[in-house]
A and B are shown apart, each in its own frame.
Chain A
Amino acid sequence: MNGQAASNGDSASPDFIRIENLSKHFDDFVAVDSVSLSIARGELFSILGGSGCGKTTLLRMLAGFEVPTTGRIFIDGIDVTDLPPYERPVNMMFQSYAIFPHMTVESNIGYGLRKDRLPKSEIGSRVDQMLELVKLNDFRHRKPDQLSGGQRQRVALARALIKRPKVLLLDEPLAALDRKLREHTQFELMAIQDRLKITFIVVTHDQEEAMTLSTRIAVMEQGRFEQVGTPKQVYEYPCNRFVADFIGTINTFESRVVGCTDGVIEVESAEAGSHLHALTDKPIASGDSVSIALRPEKIFISQERPDAAEDTCLHGIVEDLGYFGNLSLYRIRLSTGKIVQVSAQNRRRSAERFLEWNDEVWISWQRQSAVVLTE
């Protein structure tokens, strides 16, 4: 085995986990379709996708519960593809938490060490450490059915961490918690990850969760990765329409390229009713059809026509508006009939609305805010 040599001190290696052409077929259904990926040590990597996109199957292959149809998995230089779950340096936190109902909190957490036949005293002290880490000291003798959802989540986390796995897999770790608790737990999870330096792989359908938690995100659809990148890359530079749509909200204008100079393209869009500009480094020629995409928060809204020459500027009326406290969401109808979503922070404190239904407004944006999507 060449594993030992690779594992020593080489913490910057981007190939701590390496997945090569991994596929999983269930009869005729292709759940995971020839996926390749490298994850560095200590990353908090998220696999994001809708239900049925194959993200859980991928996670289960990493844990050893599913046998890949083709492809290999390497963890810290060792080929683990054919190892059973109980021999992998990987632990998993299940979506249902899977806490053993007939054991106390303490024996749940200690289970993994007992299977490794560690001396009793060491098991005891490490269970204590874990209880400390997840702040469940007072609950150690409780049975799982006497715990709240958040406490069960922490038991599951402690139980999965106690063996100090090289990789922790988390299947929808926060899905079962309510909103307030979810936000809190998110940061707790990040703090724990930072402290223990264990590589986390999180599967989630919640794009907000993926954005805040992760160092990198893989957006998955129909068994393939659409895009892999940092939260910023994925949000600000989506590589295609699916990613742009899946992460956050986005307005798109179907357009045809009329000119291209020095990375600035000029397009003609029937939907926008005018010429638009955008920056791109993609190879694009006149006559290509592209989509110009804009995030709602990148668009400014005003009652007077803004005068900056660099900006794109369109006229419309307020079709609908929603007040969310910290921000307001507007749906603006352009003269072409196209609806554009715009969000604006409510900076001023006022009981009156800044805009009303059917008000005439101008929307504008800087040309570098626009994303060019070629598919």
Chain B
Amino acid sequence: MKRRSAFVLSALAFGYAFLYVPLASVIFYSFNDSRLATVWGGFSTRWYGELWGNDQVLDAAFLSLRIAVTSATLATVLGTLAGLALVRVTRFRGRTLFSAMITSPLVMPEVITGLSLLLLFVSLQQLVGWPAQRGFSTITIAHTTFSMAYVAVVVRSRLAAMDQSLEEAAMDLGGRPLRVLVDITLPLIYPAMLAGWLLAFTLSLDDLVIASFVSGPGSNTLPMYIFSKVKLGVTPDINALASLVILFVSAGVLLAWLVTRRGPGQPGRT
């Protein structure tokens, strides 16, 4: 076996430390008994207990979850349709343009996305009286629009890798286009759809900037709540909350990875 050079190993260690030490310290201090967030005062889980009794936190967390589930589901439906259109519909006018445009929300600064959506909602309210109040629905719509792009990209790459003659064979054997979609296409791309859903879910759960733009009074998502608390100084219960979010998000990412890796029809099952 070849010996790895010390340089490569230390570069690796430094790189990972750079990524994970901040997260680890948040988790570490969440078990701190002291009232001061950065002074160690012994092990305790009391901040987790206190979170449980805090209605504001629970409301924010519940709102975030509702938004995340709804927008991820909507984004998966719309993103899958977009992916299908981009890969399977044979050459239509402006297909290249559409392909490029679907990815633009991925690179657009969140501030711009948030601002433009806010302007849209405000003018909509003036024109048709909806949305009367900004909150759950506006944040959900905002999250759907940008996470849809992620789903479309994931689904598109899966579809492009799929042998198109599978669909043709099904059609040749008497399957009408809609049946073929249900019988063949969807079962084969569902891992990508699931991965896209989980991705959209985590993105929605994480988002602070866009939600801040399009939320109204009284509707705080969890990241918004954390951010507003931190402005008054970091308290240990925020550490505990952050630790829970980290746990939740990494579970989601892990699940997404497992699903894409072990889809049906993928070679290399172990």
Are B174 and A86 in touch, CB under 8 angstroms? yes
> How far in angstroms is the closest Cβ of chain A from B181?
13
- Can you name the residue of chain A whose Cβ is closest to the Cβ of B162? A101
CB distance from B42 to the nearest CB of A (A): 55
Indicate if the CB atoms of B170 and A111 lie closer than 8 Å: yes
**A116 on interface, CB distance cutoff 8 Å:** yes
Complex: how many Å from CA A101 to CA B188? Answer: 8
Which residues on A sit within 8 Å (CB–CB) of B172?
Answer: 63-65, 85-86, 90-92, 160
B132 → chain A closest CB, angstroms: 46
- B129 contacts the other chain (CB 8 A): no
In whole angstroms, how far apart are the Cα atoms of A116 and B176 in the complex?
11
Q: How far is the CA of A160 from the CA of B174 in the complex (A)?
A: 11
A132 at the interface (CB under 8 A from B): no
A64: chain B residues within 8 A (beta carbon): 172
- Confirm or deny: B233 has a beta carbon within 8 angstroms of a beta carbon on chain A: no
Task: Kindly list chain B residues whose C-beta atoms are within 8 Å of the C-beta of A115.
Answer: 173-175, 179
Q: Which residues of A contact B49 (CB under 8 A)?
A: none
Chain A residues, Cβ within 8 Å of B170: 100, 111
Of the listed stretches B53-61, B205-213, B240-248, B261-269, chain A binds B261-269
Task: Verify if B249 is at the interface (C-beta below 8 Å from A).
Answer: no
Q: Hey, what's the 0/1 contact readout for B193-237 against A, CB within 8 Å counting as 1? A: 000000000000000000000000000000000000000000000
Closest-CB distance, B261 to chain A (whole angstroms): 15
The reply to whether B165 and A86 contact each other, CB–CB distance below 8 Å, is no
- When chains A and B are docked, how far (Å) is the Cα of A154 from the Cα of B184? 20
Q: How far is the CA of A111 from the CA of B175 in the complex (A)?
A: 9
Q: How far is the CB of B74 from chain A (nearest CB, A)?
A: 26
Residues of chain A with a CB closer than 8 A to B166's CB = 98, 100-101
Does A348 lie at the interface of the complex (its beta carbon under 8 Å from any beta carbon of B)?
no
Whether A163 and B169, one on each chain, are in contact in the complex, defined by CB atoms closer than 8 angstroms, is no
Q: Please tell me which one of the listed residues A98, A102, A116, A159 contacts residue B264 in the complex, with CB atoms under 8 A apart.
A: A102
- Closest Cβ neighbor of B180 among chain A residues: A86
Per the bound structure, the CA–CA distance linking A90 and B188 in Å amounts to 26
**Residue on B nearest A65 in the bound complex, by CB:** B168
Residues in A with CB closer than 8 Å to B267 are 145
Residue of A63, A102, A163 with most chain B CB atoms under a 10 A cut-off: A102
Shortest CB–CB separation between residue B269 and chain A, in angstroms?
7
B50 within 8 A of A: no
Checking A100, A116, A160 against B184 with a beta-carbon cut-off of 8 angstroms, the contacting residue is A100
A94, B173: Cα distance in complex, Å: 12
Judged by a CB distance under 8 angstroms, whether B109 is at the interface is no
Complex formed: what's the CA distance from A116 to B183 in Å? 14
Report whether B173 and A96 are in contact in the complex, using a CB–CB cutoff of 8 Å: no
Interface size class of B (residues with CB under 8 A): 20 to 34
Minimum CB–CB distance for B94 against chain A, Å: 16
Q: Which residues on A sit within 8 Å (CB–CB) of B131?
A: none
Which of A65, A84, A95, A98 gathers most chain B CB within 10 Å? A98
Number of A interface residues in the complex (CB < 8 A): 24
Q: In this complex, what residue of B is CB-closest to A144?
A: B265
Q: A145-B267, A145-B269 are contacts. A98–B168 as well, Cβ < 8 Å?
A: yes
User: Shortest distance in angstroms between A86's beta carbon and chain B's nearest beta carbon?
Assistant: 5
A259 within 8 A of B: no
Q: Tell me if B188 and A111 are in contact (CB < 8 A).
A: no
* Contact partners of A90 in chain B: CB under 8 A: 172
Nearest opposing residue in chain A for B269, CB measure: A145
Point out the residues of chain B lying under 8 angstroms from A145, CB to CB: 265, 267, 269
Whole-angstrom CA separation of A102 from B179 in the bound complex? 15
A101 engages B265 (CB within 8 Å)? yes
Evaluate contact between A116 and B174: CB separation under 8 angstroms: yes
A95 to B164, CA, bound (A): 12
Q: Min CB distance, A354 to chain B, in Å?
A: 50
Closest to B187 in A: A102
Given contacts A102-B187, A102-B264, A94 and B169 within 8 Å (CB-CB): yes
Find chain B residues with CB under 8 A from A96 CB: 163, 165
* Cβ contacts A23-55/B at 8 Å (1 or 0 each): 000000000000000000000000000000000
In the assembled complex, the Cα of A115 lies from the Cα of B179 at a distance in Å of 9
Q: Does A112 contact B (CB under 8 A)?
A: yes
The 0/1 profile, CB within 8 Å of B marked 1, for residues 99-116 of chain A is 011100000000110011
Contact (Cβ within 8 A) B165 A112:
no
B188 close to A86 (CB less than 8 A)? no
Q: Do B171 and A85 touch across chains, with their CB atoms under 8 A apart? A: yes
B contact residues around A94 at 8 Å (CB)? 165, 168-169
Query: Given contacts A102-B264, A145-B267, is CB(A159)–CB(B165) below 8 Å?
Result: no
Q: How far is the CB of A139 from chain B (nearest CB, A)?
A: 18
Interface positions, chain A 128-165, Cβ under 8 Å from B, are 145, 159-160, 163
Complex CA–CA separation, A112 to B187 (angstroms): 18
Q: Which B-chain residue is minimally distant from A156 (CB atoms)?
A: B169
> Max chain B CB contacts within 10 Å: which of A90, A101, A116?
A101
Is the Cβ of B188 less than 8 Å from the Cβ of A85? no
**Can you spell out 29 A-B residue pairs with CB atoms less than 8 angstroms apart?**
A63-B168, A64-B172, A65-B168, A65-B171, A85-B168, A86-B171, A86-B172, A86-B174, A86-B175, A86-B176, A94-B165, A95-B165, A96-B163, A98-B166, A100-B170, A100-B184, A101-B188, A101-B264, A102-B188, A111-B170, A111-B173, A111-B175, A116-B174, A145-B265, A145-B267, A145-B269, A159-B173, A160-B172, A163-B173
Binding site for A on B (CB under 8 A): 163, 165-166, 168-176, 179, 183-184, 187-188, 264-265, 267, 269
